[in-house]
Amino acid sequence: MELAKQRVLVTGGSSGIGRAIAAALLRKGSAVSINGRDEARLRAAADELGCDGIAGDVGLEADARRIVSSFVERHGGIDVLINNAGFGTFGPLVDTETAAFEAVLRTNVTGCFLMGREVARHLVAQRSGAIVNIASTAALRGFQGGTAYAASKFALRGMTECWREELRRRDVRVMLVNPSEVVTDFASRAGYDQEVTDKKLRSAEIAHAVVAMLEMNERGFIPELSVFATNPF
């Protein structure tokens, strides 16, 4: 895919991995809009990146539909969805509240489903395009305290496999990226301290992986890619 002039929507684009992906695609000449729930934060990020922002909660069906329709109206269509919006809560199973568990799934699973469905309708009609779901290495292996987050990422991985089988027959590529630990504000927003070292991944590495996957000639694609730090210890 030649990324110049591709129309790309990045959810969770106000910070971290989403913002880095948006920046990398803008450098390639793509027409990019970022999405986020916090309007002030979204506006600031969009201004700094030099793109537009579409506020909304991907986990709400009406918002998901509005986000996609607004993007299509602004750009005259859509070519790529980066399904990046997500967050985590962590703790022992016996202390996990139902509301917290469901909130993670609503954004990380239902939100990705809603955005994927709305965008896929356009991609199927034009018989081209790509969906990139940003999961986690937590989609590959569970861990202590990860009930809600790992469940959401395992579910996203399963959905991705289903979409891939459906949509590749319509010339639409569906890809999954599993980042290992990345230094972002994810940890502070989840309520824990992250040790920051030069050996740990940064958002730029994940953006590099996404760009490389998209740039492959469209007769082929990388179904799934995990990104680890070489030696974070």
Active site residues: 149
Residue 144, classified by CB atoms within 10 Å of its CB into exposed (0-12), middle (13-18) or buried (19+), is: exposed
Q: HSE-up of 175 (CA within 13 Å, CB side)?
A: 24
Query: Residue 221 is encoded by which pair of tokens?
Result: 């694609």
Pairwise CA distance, residues 165 & 52, whole Å: 32
Residues 6+ apart with CB under 8 A from 9: 32, 33, 35, 54, 67, 68, 71, 78, 80, 81, 82, 115, 119
Residues 6+ apart with CB under 8 A from 52: 33, 34, 46, 74
Of 114, 188, 176, 190, the C-alpha closest to 148 is 190
String of b and e for 79-105 (b: at least 16 CB within 10 Å)? Answer: bbbbbbbbebbbbeeeebeeeebeebb
Q: Are strands 7-10 and 52-55 parallel, antiparallel or unpaired?
A: unpaired
Residue 171, classified by CB atoms within 10 Å of its CB into exposed (0-12), middle (13-18) or buried (19+), is: middle
